[in-house]
Amino acid sequence: MTMDCESRTSWRASRRALLLGGAAFAAWAYIPKFARAADARDPRLVVIILRGALDGLATVAPIGDPDYAGLHGSIALAKDGAHPASMLDSFFGLHPAMPEFARMYRDKKAAVVHAVATSYRERSHFDGQDVLESGFAGPGRVQSGWLNRAIEALPAGERVTSGLAIGPTTPLVLRGAAPTVGWAPVNLPTAADDTATRLVELYRHRDPALAQALSQGLQLDKIAIGDEMKPKSGGNAVEAMRQVARGAAKLMAADDGPRVAALAFDGWDTHAQEGGPVGRLAQLLGGLDGALADFEKGLGAHWRDTVIVVATEFGRTAKINGTEGTDHGTGTVALLAGGAVKGGRVIADWPGLKPANLFEARDLAPTTDLRAILKGVLHDHLGLSERVLAERVFPDSGMVKPAKGLVG
């Protein structure tokens, strides 16, 4: 049998796609296993990036600030009325689309950091996301992420030895020298079990390496996506967030699975029609809220040792625009959830929303460096030293000290 040049090229492309797609987990067998700590802690860390810039003032509203309602206008939350908030304390109210996070907060397993930002002060999504995920003070500095460097910096034999990148591409935050494995849910119809078995048998004789990779990949993909986690008919972005969380939680709950994961949810650039019970932000926050609950359920007993960090590249303007949305801003919120979080509190050095207090007369002024929060989690949860955090994980950040007491 002969094969022309075009056919050979097509075969190589198909074979590569099969190896990288259905058998993406084959490399898992070669990743070093973790060593359980003497104190029986088995920490999990999940980093969720919200791409597009989250409106922190609408997610966790400073209802007690006398200038808030006037600035956020028709989309402002209140203690009651058209947009009632779930009050976290006497000052801050949570968006009503997040009842699961509210429950975790009441159980002291979730916390909010308000008026937070990276060191970036411009309003480019591309550069803002670069700074958020690289861990450097400015954009365009490096092609690795702070979470990957944190894994790489852990002592040899540490229980966390690899990272799980969730999605079609590895987020920058998890790129680098430390080993990672990727998984993305496939929304296309999957082949029947007998078809997959026949494929494995066919390649067992023609290409044993491909057959082994395909077999391992199919087995591990079945772990991630069981029948209960397949997307519902007519699924949308909200269901997609939850599907990703369910699959990732199952993989991270396995004894030989990864302990650190990163994923990104897109679509948070709410320039128009942001507010209201069925507005864009409500739908997005509902998906995020469901994903956090699915992580809690899927991790089971391991939820006790879990921290989830939710962060975004920058905030949005304090004043709404003419299309009932908000434009690119600066200060925003970061969310913490998990059984290991010392929660039930909003952590904020509140700057106020009077015109003189706004950053560049338009944005919530940042008073907390996001790197302090990330350092605090990595220090207390994974045991990285302040020196390593300042020199390797977040280079040239010695002036930014880790926040204390975020993790129990």
Closest CA relative to residue 60, chosen from 301, 335, 397: 335
Q: Which residues contact 194 (CB under 8 A, 6 or more apart)?
A: none
Tokens found for residue 99: 């009842």
The reported pLDDT for the residue numbered 140 is 87
Q: Which residues contact 359 (CB under 8 A, 6 or more apart)?
A: 329, 330, 331, 365, 366
What is the Cα–Cα distance from 272 to 358, expressed in whole angstroms?
22
Average pLDDT over residues 311-326: 96
Write the pLDDT tens digit of every residue in 279-308: 899 999 999 999 999 999 999 999 999 999
Write the pLDDT tens digit of every residue in 31-66: 434 444 445 778 999 999 999 999 999 999 999 999
Q: How confident is the model at residue 227 (pLDDT cuts 50, 70, 90)?
A: very low
DSSP strand pairing (368-369 vs 110-117): parallel
What is the Cα–Cα distance from 141 to 185, expressed in whole angstroms?
31
The reported pLDDT for the residue numbered 81 is 75
Element (H, E) at 362: none
What is the Cα–Cα distance from 345 to 198, expressed in whole angstroms?
55
What is the Cα–Cα distance from 149 to 129, expressed in whole angstroms?
17
The reported pLDDT for the residue numbered 376 is 98
Tokens found for residue 122: 């411009």
Tokens found for residue 349: 């050095």
Q: Is the pLDDT of residue 219 over 60?
A: no
How is residue 240 annotated by DSSP?
H
Q: What is the mean pLDDT of the chain?
A: 83
Burial class (CB in 10 A: 0-12, 13-18, 19+), 36: exposed
Q: How confident is the model at residue 9 (pLDDT cuts 50, 70, 90)?
A: very low
Average pLDDT over residues 194-223: 58
Cα four-point dihedral sign 78, 83, 87, 93: negative
Which of the two residues, 156 and 317, has the higher pLDDT score? Answer: 317
CA–CA distance from 41 to each of 45, 164, 256, 304 (Å)? Answer: 13, 19, 15, 9
What is the Cα–Cα distance from 378 to 402, expressed in whole angstroms?
9
354: left (phi over 0), alpha (psi -120 to 50) or beta: beta
What is the Cα–Cα distance from 325 to 330, expressed in whole angstroms?
15
> Does domain 47-185+257-393 match CATH 3.40.720?
yes
